[in-house]
Structure 1
């Protein structure tokens, strides 16, 4: 039971209860209160808890107020003061109200809640961050009743979105990823200043390195800028990964790997951007974007790759509002009965097409080549051919897009003839190319012309080791041009772009790290 000495104090208590995701069963209000009367209080309280039972306490002279309350706030009951004896006049009424509410209570929630607009890039970014970090949340549209009630409880308007309300009732208005991480249980600060192994990037290669490093007794920390899993974590279904004959989603695989790393006491930091790497004698120093740094004996670079941006007029401003990079699986239910467009012909695009075909009326795959055979696994080609609502459009490029609040039209063309055409479209998911996330390495590590990290024998040219190499041996297989720094997974030049090989390289890097440490 919560009591208040004024209507405003009671409303403030109700706002806190609403933000914490708790329930209110019965509202009892005296008609005569400071600052506002009981009817005004109940009318405001209904905006927060519309299903709570409402009881007005009135004096005999205020019976007209009770009639007004029945018409204005759909009053469930009114009580005339005094109500002695309460066993006869008060308690039975409260019991009846409780019984009526228990028959259809409000829903409670222990999840994080996100309030935003349907076609809003910032709202999508918040939802995507939470989903990719496996944080349960409820999505509420600002213009719908429950979303509006949360905004009211937080003292905000529909202009103040996205709003994130954590399970403890904390309100975050237009939060950054770092603010989100700090309030939803993700770790953002290292516990130590020095480690045996720092893994940069939490895709399959990074998670593999963290699991093997920590399980073998190395003080290990895994640093991720956005979300664990990388591109593989966004995959709706991986069916050729060893040990999962029925397939496994990227999120499931990521969750298992993350829990496994934590089991072996690896630390996992999120929303931390590594902006520099340097050697300090036998120590490797990593600098964060906020000016702090950590040191380690060894480093594994596993930053993976990102999808290349589709450079066409009108698309940049529609990103997050109908134009998405990667699978954006959180949007799949919203595509029910719609026509969607997928750009790309590799495995990630094929997995997305199969997944979205369960929701969309038709999935259009746009590819530049003549068919899928050059870039996609045969099992996926066979699946796509067997699904009736997936249509592959060969020799098709996207040359532009347009729309108001969201994507509305795509401009396509055949690159052979240059013949353009326009289609109505609200959804486009892009899976093209692969760009390594290595700009931050600058000149500290040798990279190839496309930015991929060169390792092992690739660093030895005409029998000459890389400039600055100080050891009397050639670099190990996954070792970079800085001794003690290794690369694994998609970020490495000439690597096999598959989940299994990335995990294997992460494990192999740890084996080579032991050799490196033993020789120091």
Structure 2
């Protein structure tokens, strides 16, 4: 059950080092806006920042900030620049004397100033209120309207802290990160009544405190749907990558009662991509997160239920029903099921990898870690598109990015356009015929051991970040004994099941399996989890849509 978040009045904050002026501004604002807004005044930039920090801690919105230009310890421009970090979408006004108008005009570019107001502002009905009215209207109608933030306090090199941040980011849940050993993090822990020994600590927008929360607990408290609303559906889609989202959109839009079940976050591996440049209709490219978010919103608009943080562990055939079983023992039934679980990165066997995962070693792009890679030497293992996209993205801020591949070149596994971009980027280098044979560090990654297979030597390099994109494992062990899989665990479907014109053993129907249908009627496979699939975003989306067409055919005429 989700708890409603208390809605505080938005604040109007004014700061001026002259007490008389400060009181006058607050008085005029209160007279017109006091009923709907909180009026807060301060007499120095530092005290105003402290007030903003307290508001941020409570999750209270701030609509407009008015600051005097001439303040001795901290000018109005300096204050507004710092205030932007706390409330980036609050409207900003600079109070100036006529002699300071040039500085005010310059501040429009420096701090994205919304307006400068000349002193005196009498009568306020003519000089103050129209300005504030317009700013409040713009703030209220802005697409970037501030959302209530979740606060996460954790240790920089703690694996679970990294996982929580990644979970929130991939599910498009706004949060702010604080390190537990820095003053602001310590203050938040004290305010939350947490001892800091068990991390991460999550402070919800309504003030509730979660200590070392599981993903399901986070999802429940922050508004994600984690439980199905019905017991029976026309279609259950397992997996929320491009194939699963495509199936959910087409299934729901065509009137099927559709539920999509995802273990972590929609988007799959594609959702973690920093830039997809060869997807139809996006000539300038699109991030995986943007693509996933649009697809998620599209699916829900058509009525699909998107159920997250639920791990599917079994699939059963019960007469005409197909039963999906969750790790907690609960089940849902459906006429049909589409398997769209995609693939996972294979675990790297090198010594030290498991111990330092989440502590400088990451599987996939780990989008929340990109900012920490600034001015660092970063290593990436893998030669497919996901590795190339990550390299291009990280190279924006990292000092160097090194792609480590066992093959002689990238040409056999990476798209041509990405290879060209990598070759033209001076910060990226490729080390062919090389592999990681070990990692080391005291509590976090500090060194990587590399073996050059062509030269026959090993070396140790200093590095703080290692991102692994090594191969694809379908993780379909839970389907053992239910549907036919190939030797690598990928699900076999359609014509690949037919041998000498005959259906596979145990097939109960007179017809042969449909193109994406598995060895069990009414269970389909789409996307990367399917044997012999193309392993591209566009083809996965297409297979998801095609699977829905075959679902209709199955329901109408088995």
TM range (shorter): 0.7 to 0.9
Q: Deviation of residue 23 (structure 1)?
A: 9.1
Equivalent of residue 373 in structure 1, options 405, 411, 434 = 411
Q: Which residue of 2 aligns with 1:265?
A: 303
Equivalences for residues 179-258 of structure 1 within 5 A: 179-258=217-296
Deviation of 1:416 after TM superposition, in Å, equals 3.7
Residue 305 of structure 2 is aligned to residue 280 of structure 1: no
- Kept after mapping to 2: 8 A contact 1:21/1:169: no
CA-to-partner distance for each residue in 1:263-282, whole Å, 9 max, x for gaps?
A: 00100100101111111111
User: Do residues 113 (structure 1) and 154 (structure 2) align?
Assistant: no
Residues 430-486 of structure 1 deviation map (CA, whole Å, 9 limit, x = unaligned): 001000021111110100000000000111123331122111011000000010000
SS of the aligned residue for 1:306 comes to: coil
Q: Does 2:118 match 1:172?
A: no
The correspondence of residues 307-318 of structure 1 with structure 2, limited to 5 A, is 307-318=345-356
Structure 1 stretches (4+) deviating beyond 6 angstroms?
20-25
Instruction: Provide the C-alpha distance between the structure 2 equivalents of 1:97 and 1:415, rounded to a whole number of angstroms.
Output: 67
Q: Which residue of 1 aligns with 2:30?
A: none
Aligned length: 437
Counterpart of 1:326?
Answer: 364
SS of alignment partner, residue 446 of structure 2: strand
Residue ranges of structure 1 left out of the alignment (5+ in a row): 1-16, 26-50, 52-94
Q: Distance in 2 between matches of 1:510 and 1:423?
A: 50
Give the TM-score, by structure 2 length.
0.76
Q: Partners in 2 of 1:391 and 1:188 — Cα distance?
A: 43
Tell me how far apart the structure 1 counterparts of residues 203 and 194 of structure 2 sit (CA, whole Å): 12
Unaligned 5+ segments in structure 2 are 16-38, 60-147
Name the CA distance, whole Å, in 2 between partners of 1:446 and 1:232.
26
* Bigger radius of gyration: 1
* 2:236 paired with 1:290: no
- In structure 2, the residue matched to 1:32 is none
1:4-403 alignment runs, 5 A limit: 98=42, 103-104=48-49, 105-107=51-53, 108=56, 109=59, 110-403=148-441
Equivalent residue number for residue 506 of structure 2? 468
Task: Check whether the contact 1:342–1:363 (CA below 8 A) recurs between aligned residues.
Answer: yes
C-alpha deviations, 1:365-387, integer Å up to 9, x for none?
10111111111101001111111
Distance in 2, matches of 1:113 and 1:279, equals 44
Q: Distance in 1 between matches of 2:505 and 2:158?
A: 49
C-alpha distance in 1, partners of 2:284/2:547?
29
- When the two chains are superposed, the root-mean-square deviation of aligned CA atoms in Å is 2.3
| Between 182-191 and 155-164, the greater mean CA deviation after superposition | 155-164
Provide the secondary structure at the position in 2 that maps to 1:380: helix
User: Which of 485, 498, 513 is the matching residue for 2:523?
Assistant: 485
SS where residue 548 of structure 2 aligns? helix
State TM-score, norm by structure 1.
0.81
Aligned mate of 2:491, from 446, 450, 453: 453
**1:415 shift after superposition:** 2.3
State how far apart, in whole Å, the 2-side matches of 1:96 and 1:213 are. 51
Alignment check: 8 A CA contact 1:187 1:268 kept: yes
